[in-house]
Each structure stands twice: as C-alpha cells, then as structure tokens.
Amino acid sequence: MRVFLVFCSMLFFAFPALGAVSISTSPQVDQIRPDLDLVDTQVRVTPNSEYEIIVRTPESHPLISTDFPIVEGTQLYHLRGFTKDGIIRFKTIYPIRGTYKISVLTGGTWEYLELDINETPGEIINLLIFSGFLLLLGLLGGYLLQKTAKAEGEAQKLNLTASVILLALLAGSFSGEVQAHSAAHDIEQKGFLQWSASEGDHTFSVQFDSNQAIVGESVTFHMQLVSEQKIIQEPFTVKMETFHMEDKTVMFEGSFTSSKATEESCGLCSISTVVQFFDGAETKLTFTTTLPNGKQLSVDGVIGVEGRSPPTAVKIKTLLLLAGLILTGVALGFFFIPTKKRTAANAV
C-alpha cells in the first residue's frame, strides 16, 4: 500500500496540472527587441473557461528612464474572453525594456507571471557612445580652461563660467528635443465614438469609452454583433488589429471569443478589450468577425493618438545625468591632464 501511494505521488508531481498558467513568446524572451519586434505571445490557461489577462509595463527605474517614460508602470492591455483549447494568442510590440507584470484570471483564480525584456544591444552601444562623447567634450573643455588660465582666481571664474554655459546649452538642447518630439505627435482628435458595418440583417459595432486616445492612458472597446435588432446570444469571435500609420507597422493583433450569454448578462454576448497606444501618431484599427453564414464583416477607421512629453521629474533626472558626465570630464581635464606650464612648475 505504501509503495502504491509513493508511486501515485510521483506521478502527480511529475506531470503539471492541465490548468497550469504559463506564457511563451516567439522570438524567445532574451531575443525580443523592445519597440521593434512584433512578438507572438501565447498564454496557456484552463481550457473551456473564461479568462482575463492584464499586462502592465515595467516600473520606472530610479536612474535611467526608457524611451517612453510616460508609459512606465501603466496598464498596456486588459484582454477578456472565452477559450476552448486553453491557449490565448496575440501579437504585440512591447514598447520598453524591463519586467512586465502579467495577471491572468482563469478557473476563478488569479495567477501572476513576469516577462523580462532586455534593452537592445544597439541602444546600449548608442548610449555608451553618447556618454563617451559628452565625457570627451567635458575633458577637452577642462583641458582648455587649464591651459588658458593665467591665475588661480581667473581659472575658477573661467571654470564656473564654462560649466554654466555647458549646462545652459545642454538644457536648451534637451528641452528643444522633447518639445519637438511632443509637437510632432500631437494630433487633432477625430472624436470617433462608434463604428459599425452591416451585412444582410447583421450589424457589427465597436463602441469606444472615450473620444480621445492619449499616450499612457487606456481605451476600452466594446464589440457586439446584432441580428434583427437583437444581440446574438451565441458566442462570436473578433480579430482586432492596430496599425501604426507613421511607421507602417502592426502594433497589436489578436482574436477574442465572447463568453456565452447568461442571465447576468441579460442574454447578451459582447467582448470588451482595453488597449493602450504608447506612441502618439495616427493609428488604424480593424475589427473583423465571422457571421453565422461564414461571411466576414469588418469595421475599420483611423484615430489620432495625442502624444505627451516626459514628466518634469524625468527631464530633470536626465538633465542631471548628462550634465554630470560633462562636469566629470571638465574636472578630469582641468585637474588631472598636465600642461607644459604645470610640468615646468613641478620641475622647479
């Protein structure tokens, strides 16, 4: 009897539970390039069940910000639906590096996953080159100050003056870059609240909970399929795609099946999806469903996404980091690079 129990326990722990929640991506996580790759993401949940998936972006780093600081620590997606095979598939571009928090509701229980995405090697190389350039610039400035100074008091004045000038130029350049980026992505809103299309006695509609799309904030889409002025009670599936008009890139693509109608839902079937647009530019949305007769019905349109400049705290933090590199170079060039005058004085 004891041997039988031990054997059963070994079998139980050797095979994972059918309803175990997991996530996989293609390409592999360590090969994903943030803001570049359209990642095929699969989340495994309990088969024949309703689900919810909430994806949150990485939190802000205390020192170095990402390319999209306004979306750090925000909700990227909130997906709902029903799955037969227990596999939810969607393709998306993950905007920034860091650890994404993924909450999954399946079988009445919340499970929590993480997805760690590294910075692209190219971005790291660019950062090192830019940092080296600022350090070299400060080094050259410090050396010139030391060489041209005639007296200690004058050298201090020159050093202070040069530092102020460098800080002013750096601040002006950084501020101008941020304002130019923000202005280039501010788009007049078109005020769409509902899109719909009809085929025979069927009408497919998509309603928006807001007439604006703003970077860092979510937009909810409510999708319904109506027949003869009555909402179809049988589950239906919608394929959703978002297309970045400026970069001509698919940002998100996924298919979602509605839950079965119940008394609590007043006999209605609908799908609600929450999406955040993390880059301010015109975005084309396409929603496609299949009618009971096999024909496809689509609605699409273009919305404007209002860009937002980084928070003031991020601007100040970035400015201090860049200024620190320049001032470090100035100090090294002024105090540690020998000149002929200083070498001769030391020889005497």
Q: What is the pLDDT of residue 342?
A: 52
**Strands, DSSP E only, in the chain?**
22-26, 38-44, 49-56, 75-83, 87-93, 98-106, 109-117, 194-199, 202-208, 213-214, 218-227, 230-231, 237-244, 249-257, 271-276, 283-290, 296-303, 305-306
Asked if the domains 1-118 and 187-306 are classified in one and the same CATH topology, the answer is: yes
Position 275 scores a pLDDT of 92
- The mean per-residue pLDDT over the stretch 176-192 comes to 44
Q: Kind of pairing, strands 213-214 and 305-306?
A: parallel
Higher pLDDT, 289 or 229: 289
**152-188 burial by CB neighbour count: b if 16+ within 10 A, else e?**
eeeeeebbeebbeebbeebeeeeeeeeeeebeebebe
pLDDT of 18 strictly over 70: no
**How confident is the model at residue 320, as a pLDDT?**
80
- Which pLDDT belongs to residue 28? 94
Q: Poorest-confidence range of 71-85, 155-169, 271-285, 320-334? A: 155-169
Q: What is the CATH number of domain 1-118?
A: 2.60.40.10
The strand pairing partners of 78, in sequence order, are: 54, 274
Cα-to-chain-centroid distance, residue 25? 16
Split at pLDDT 50, 70, 90, the class of 180 is very low
- Per-residue pLDDT for 81 more than 80? yes
Does the pLDDT at position 179 exceed 70? no
- What mean pLDDT, rounded, does the chain reach? 78
| DSSP-based three-state secondary structure for 248 | coil
More confident residue, 1 or 120: 120
User: So what's the pLDDT on residue 192?
Assistant: 52
Residue 166: pLDDT band (50, 70, 90) is low
Average pLDDT over residues 135-152: 73
Tokens of 14: 């050797």
pLDDT at res. 94 = 96
Please determine, for residue 71, whether its predicted confidence score (pLDDT) is greater than 50: yes
Banded pLDDT at 340 (limits 50, 70, 90): low
Residue 135 has pLDDT above 60, yes or no: yes
Confidence of residue 316 (pLDDT cuts 50, 70, 90): confident
Specify the CATH number for 187-306; select among 2.120.10.30, 2.40.128.630, 2.60.40.1930, 3.40.50.720: 2.60.40.1930
Range from 25-34, 188-197, 210-219, 325-334 that averages highest in pLDDT: 25-34
Tokens of 1: 């009897």
Q: Domain coordinates of the chain in residue numbers?
A: 1-118, 121-179+311-340, 187-306
Q: Considering the chain, what percentage of its residues have pLDDT values greater than 90?
A: 34
- The predicted model scores a pTM of 0.77
- Paired tokens of 196: 């719909």
Q: Give pLDDT, residue 40.
A: 97
